[in-house]
């Protein structure tokens, strides 16, 4: 254990500070496709009974009209966060008719590209902006790629923790600067170790053959409709998932907040040849917000993001630059198709302990070669993480995945213990034990279990996924929401529709001017 980690553990273990870690915040965003009874993409509009996708804070859409996104509040108890996620699912199932929520991350058999409906947000300027942004995404990356779903795990350490650590570190500077630099340090360690999360929780070793649209690939045939890799953990996070030539050169450096925001700001302001050739309009209609490497900063695909809650009309990057980092958003988690909500408390408890190690341990700057090996380790694990004797690169040396994973879990153990001390019970220790078992026996990983189930039931990816989707639908429908909770969801849905209507009726100004002002807002930020 590093001296720094030891010192911080002792500090947080003091009786006066023990309750602090119980104040970490946890929020979850879960995306999932709506499908019809045949397991095909639903072509119906976003159900009005779920409210407005533009203004309902808990139930919205992501890229496609058929791609739902459920958003929990950020709560101190992850059990309550998951309870909230479950309640959203239950409510949605009361309004889905004969449709289903698709259980895994990789999409159902999809229609032709042009028949995948873009999410529609109405006629307000902000609604139109969201739509044009999605037009741009389809132009740049294709619609198929955008139908992949995931779980985003939002996590923050308590605000009262930072001054304590800052004083112990003898940091010279503002509290805000210290907090931001500590979160960026967490992100550097996450880059080093996130391959472990892909091994433990990756759940997409197979996909529908039509997903590749006839592109060349290195996958193997599982059956006529299914492609897979025998040792893959997460094809979703492999280079089959999001690919972007424009973004290839964009690896924001996580040395400090300024270098990160600078690289993103530059990408939002730098034209990219192939996009310039297309232009922003076709036949007088908007097809993308601009011709730059990124239309907006959220277009940058990364496994983890530093975040800050934004004010109305403020851009994510402006919020970060003005007020520093407030939390991190972990974006690389697959949906576990065996779990009704796609994630459970055991996974959440382990991720908390894992992120705490990333936050509290030594986190030197990432040099060029280490940066490259972080990326390579991650790609090796998503494609062949369960291969016996798989080796990764650590400090320029080859190390066996199993050995490194066991060592990391040993380092996480005192953090799990610290969390259990603060909260009472042994839930983090138990969550850690469950992960140790997977490191010793790869057949216990979700990715191995998906393939085992498909073999046992002699079914391809689509049939397996639909079977799980039906099971989950039955689970949610069997237990009705308490009447009061149901009424609250209905009221939120109604209120969101009213809010969208008001926005549209009170809209002032032309859309082109609105887009211009939106673009200018990023260019106006000075160094």
| Pairwise CA distance, residues 266 & 391, whole Å | 36
Judge whether residue 241 has pLDDT over 60: no
Q: Please state, rounded to an integer, the average pLDDT across all residues of the chain.
A: 95
Strand extents, DSSP E, 339-496: 391-394, 397-400
198-202, 310-314, 463-467, 515-519: range with lowest mean pLDDT = 310-314
What are the backbone dihedrals phi and psi of residue 129, each rounded to the nearest 5 degrees, phi first? Answer: -60, -45
CATH of domain 3-523: 3.30.590.20
pLDDT digits (tens, 9 = 90+) for 4-58: 999 999 999 999 999 999 999 999 999 999 999 999 999 999 999 999 999 999 9
pLDDT digits (tens, 9 = 90+) for 272-320: 999 999 999 999 999 999 999 999 999 998 999 999 999 988 899 999 9
pLDDT of 242:
55
pLDDT digits (tens, 9 = 90+) for 54-75: 999 999 999 999 999 999 999 9
> CA quadruple 121, 124, 129, 135: dihedral positive or negative?
positive
Please compute the mean of the pLDDT values over residues 126-155 and round it to a whole number.
Answer: 96
| Pairwise CA distance, residues 106 & 241, whole Å | 9
Query: Which residues on adjacent β-strands are paired with residue 281?
Result: 286
Helices (H), 35-123: 78-94
Please compute the mean of the pLDDT values over residues 183-207 and round it to a whole number.
Answer: 98
Query: Which residues on adjacent β-strands are paired with residue 285?
Result: 282
pLDDT of 244:
63
Please compute the mean of the pLDDT values over residues 419-445 and round it to a whole number.
Answer: 97
pLDDT of 521:
83
What count of other Cβ atoms lies within 10 Å of the Cβ of residue 120? Answer: 18
Give me the residue label for tokens 């472990």.
Answer: 196
Please compute the mean of the pLDDT values over residues 363-380 and round it to a whole number.
Answer: 92
SS3 366: coil
Candidates 382, 108, 381; CA nearest to 242 is 382
Judge whether residue 509 has pLDDT over 80: yes
Judge whether residue 409 has pLDDT over 90: yes
pLDDT digits (tens, 9 = 90+) for 247-259: 877 767 788 999 8
8 Å CB contact between 381 and 30: no
Domain map (residue ranges) of the chain: 3-523
- Percentages (nearest 5) of helix, strand, coil residues in the chain: 50, 15, 35
pLDDT of 527:
43
Percentage of the chain with pLDDT > 90?
Answer: 89
Name the band, by pLDDT with cuts 50, 70 and 90, for residue 525.
Answer: low
8 Å CB contact between 34 and 391: no
Candidates 154, 151, 4, 138; CA nearest to 76 is 154
| Pairwise CA distance, residues 479 & 475, whole Å | 7
| Pairwise CA distance, residues 229 & 336, whole Å | 18
């Amino acid at each position: 254990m590093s001296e720094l980690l030891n010192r911080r553990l002792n500090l947080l273990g003091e009786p006066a500070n023990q309750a602090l870690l119980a104040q970490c915040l946890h929020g979850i965003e879960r995306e999932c496709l709506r499908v019809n009874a045949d397991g095909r993409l639903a072509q119906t509009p976003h159900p009005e009974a779920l409210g407005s996708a533009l203004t309902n804070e808990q139930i919205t859409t992501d890229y496609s009209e058929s791609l739902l996104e459920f958003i929990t509040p950020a709560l101190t108890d992850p059990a309550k966060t998951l309870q909230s996620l479950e309640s959203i699912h239950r409510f949605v199932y009361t309004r889905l008719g004969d449709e289903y929520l698709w259980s895994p991350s990789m999409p159902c058999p999809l229609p032709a590209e042009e028949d995948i409906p873009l999410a529609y947000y109405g006629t307000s300027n902000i609604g139109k902006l969201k739509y044009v942004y999605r037009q741009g995404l389809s132009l740049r990356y294709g619609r198929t790629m955008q139908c992949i779903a995931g779980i985003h795990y939002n996590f923050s350490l308590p605000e009262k923790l930072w001054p304590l650590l800052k004083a112990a570190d003898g940091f010279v500077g503002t509290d805000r600067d210290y907090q931001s630099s500590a979160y960026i340090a967490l992100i550097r360690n996450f880059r080093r170790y996130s391959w472990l999360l892909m091994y433990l929780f990756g759940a997409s070793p197979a996909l529908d053959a039509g997903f590749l649209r006839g592109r060349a690939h290195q996958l193997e045939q599982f059956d006529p409709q299914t492609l897979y890799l025998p040792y893959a953990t997460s094809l979703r996070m492999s280079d089959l998932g999001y690919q972007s030539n424009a973004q290839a050169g964009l690896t924001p450096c996580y040395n400090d907040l300024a270098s990160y925001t600078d690289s993103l700001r530059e990408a939002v302001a730098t034209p990219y040849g192939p996009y310039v050739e297309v232009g922003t309009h076709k036949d007088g209609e908007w097809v993308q917000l601009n011709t730059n490497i990124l239309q907006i900063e959220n277009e940058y695909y990364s496994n983890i993001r530093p975040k800050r809650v934004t004010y109305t009309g403020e851009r994510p990057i402006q919020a970060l630059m003005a007020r520093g980092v407030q939390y991190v958003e972990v974006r690389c988690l697959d949906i576990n198709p065996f779990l009704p909500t796609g994630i459970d408390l055991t996974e959440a408890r382990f991720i908390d302990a894992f992120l705490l190690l990333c936050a509290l341990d030594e986190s030197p700057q990432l040099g060029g070669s280490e940066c490259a090996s972080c990326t390579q380790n991650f790609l090796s694990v998503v494609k062949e993480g369960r291969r016996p004797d798989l080796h990764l690169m650590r400090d320029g040396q080859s190390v066996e995945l199993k050995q490194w994973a066991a060592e990391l879990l040993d380092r996480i153990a005192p953090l799990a213990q610290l969390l259990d001390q603060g909260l009472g019970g042994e839930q983090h220790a138990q969550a850690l034990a469950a992960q140790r078992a997977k490191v010793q026996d790869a057949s216990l990983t979700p990715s191995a279990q998906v393939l085992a189930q498909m073999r046992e039931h002699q079914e391809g990816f689509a049939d397996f996924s639909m079977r799980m989707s039906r099971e989950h639908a039955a689970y949610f429908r069997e237990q009705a929401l308490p009447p009061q909770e149901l009424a609250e969801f209905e009221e939120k849905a109604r209120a969101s529709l009213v809010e969208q209507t008001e926005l549209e009726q009170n809209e002032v100004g032309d859309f082109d001017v609105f887009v211009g002002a939106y673009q200018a807002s990023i260019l106006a930020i000075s160094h």
